[in-house]
């Protein structure tokens, strides 16, 4: 059973009652992430996520953790490009405690100077750890290749320099203007008393307000034709290739998921079978979809010996062309739809996954994606829709790319990618 309501202060609340479980998941979503920053304060959203665990007027940092862990629960948070989420999973008997702790963190955090300076060291080490991961470096680099200087390209963690420059005044002003009920959603999923839920939420979040409001808005960045390389002394060359995608909330995402699943979504996909099973060029190769407000991207990833780079990129490009030229069969569509439905339903088997799904959908779309509706949309996908979505995504070709590894002949890869494709030439495509 779902319910969606709003408090008088503007906080949206989405609840899903699941009476056959004995747990509760509570998540507070703030529509604020690295995309809402600039080069000067880059990383402040992620830093604030850390700081909300450092102590409040009512609890020390240790007491925040103990309040939940002492009753067998879990408390954590994450920051993305467009949202930050603080969440708790516990037994259903601890719903009120969960609401108490989350509201205390958001409304009463102290942001002590000493804690800020300590946490800068922690976050900078997290940045250093990310810099040691070529996949993380590649992800940030590809964002820059795809969207240039738009704020969506800013790294979620920020830079060591931007984090060091953060001040107490800057942090408190940012929290006051962006961590506001109008920008937020409280998502609750699990076993609870539906009759008392509004009263409980009002008790802990009803007084949340701010005089300095900054309602979140988004740019409309263009997908660029761009190719970037970052040198790292590692064995493999890590490659990410970008194709025009779809924005958050576009119902065409379901046909695109079908296409992506067939092209690079698993071990039976075109990419995996060609590059790993047939050619033996790599261990890991796949494609995935990223959706944001007003923009989106389909990314193709592989990591391999730099000596194979030109052949691999050429094969991937040819496979994209072949995929677009020849399309898919009714049987491929049927199988991919079943795979998509199965993975979707299996992904909703816990209260935390239901809370995440409901919270994100309400935050960005102001609606609940009910599983039965999603399954119906998948079932309704037909070949006409598949071809329409193919036209607006894969047939536009590989637009941008990013590479992380030792120095190599990037110009040759760029020439391969920017050569004629069947999206623009009526030539017969052949597999390599």
Q: Which residues are catalytic?
A: 49
Contact 25, 95 (CB under 8 A): no
Q: Which distant-in-sequence residues (6+ apart) come within 8 Å of 374 by Cβ?
A: 254, 344
Q: Which segments of 166-281 are extended strands (E)?
A: 184-190, 226-231, 237-244
Distance CA 278, CA 298 (A): 23
Interatomic CA distance for residues 212 and 207, integer angstroms: 15
Nearest to 381 by CA among 218, 261, 202: 261
CB 153 within 8 A of CB 147: yes
Q: DSSP letter string over 115-156?
A: HHHHHHHHHHHHHHHHHT-HHHHHHHHHHHHHHTTSGGGS-T
* Rounded (5°) CA angle 89-91-95: 75
The Cα–Cα gap between 123 and 34 comes to 15
């Amino acid at each position: 059973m779902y319910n969606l309501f709003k408090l008088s202060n503007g906080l949206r609340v989405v609840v899903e009652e699941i009476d056959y479980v004995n747990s509760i998941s509570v998540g507070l979503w703030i529509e604020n992430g690295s995309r809402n920053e600039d080069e000067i304060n880059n990383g402040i959203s992620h830093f604030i996520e850390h700081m909300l665990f450092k102590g409040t007027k009512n609890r020390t940092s240790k007491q925040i953790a103990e309040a939940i862990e002492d009753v067998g629960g879990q408390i954590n948070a994450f920051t993305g490009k467009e949202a930050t989420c603080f969440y708790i999973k516990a037994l259903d008997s601890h719903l009120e405690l969960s609401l108490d702790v989350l509201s205390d963190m958001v409304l009463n955090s102290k942001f002590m100077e000493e804690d800020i300076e300590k946490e800068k060291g922690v976050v900078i080490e997290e940045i250093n750890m990310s810099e040691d991961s070529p996949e993380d470096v590649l992800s940030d680099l590809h964002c820059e290749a795809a969207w240039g200087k738009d704020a969506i390209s800013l790294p979620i963690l920020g830079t060591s320099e931007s984090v060091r420059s953060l001040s107490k005044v800057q942090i408190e002003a940012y929290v006051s203007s962006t961590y506001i009920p109008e920008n937020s959603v409280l998502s609750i999923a699990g076993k609870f008393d539906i009759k008392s839920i509004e009263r409980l939420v009002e008790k802990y979040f009803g007084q949340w307000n701010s005089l300095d409001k900054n309602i979140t808005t988004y740019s409309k960045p263009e997908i660029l034709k761009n190719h970037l390389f970052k040198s790292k002394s590692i064995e493999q060359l890590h490659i990410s290739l970008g194709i025009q995608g779809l924005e958050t909330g576009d119902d065409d995402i379901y046909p695109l998921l079908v296409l992506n699943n067939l092209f690079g979504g698993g071990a039976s996909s075109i990419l995996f079978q060609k590059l790993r099973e047939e050619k033996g060029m790599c261990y890991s190769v796949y494609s995935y979809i990223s959706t944001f407000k007003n923009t989106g991207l389909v990314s193709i990833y592989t990591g391999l010996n730099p000596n194979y780079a030109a052949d691999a990129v050429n094969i991937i490009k040819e496979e994209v062309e072949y995929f677009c030229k020849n399309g898919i069969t009714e049987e491929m569509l049927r199988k991919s739809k079943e795979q998509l439905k199965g993975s979707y339903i299996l992904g909703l088997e816990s209260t935390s996954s239901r809370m995440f799904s409901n919270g994100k959908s309400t935050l960005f779309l102001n609606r609940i994606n009910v599983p039965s509706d999603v399954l119906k949309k998948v079932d309704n996908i037909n070949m006409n829709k598949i071809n329409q979505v193919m036209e607006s995504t894969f047939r536009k070709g590989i637009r941008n790319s990013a590479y992380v590894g030792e120095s190599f002949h990037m110009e040759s890869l760029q020439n391969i990618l920017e050569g004629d494709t069947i999206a623009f030439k009526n030539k017969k495509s052949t597999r390599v």
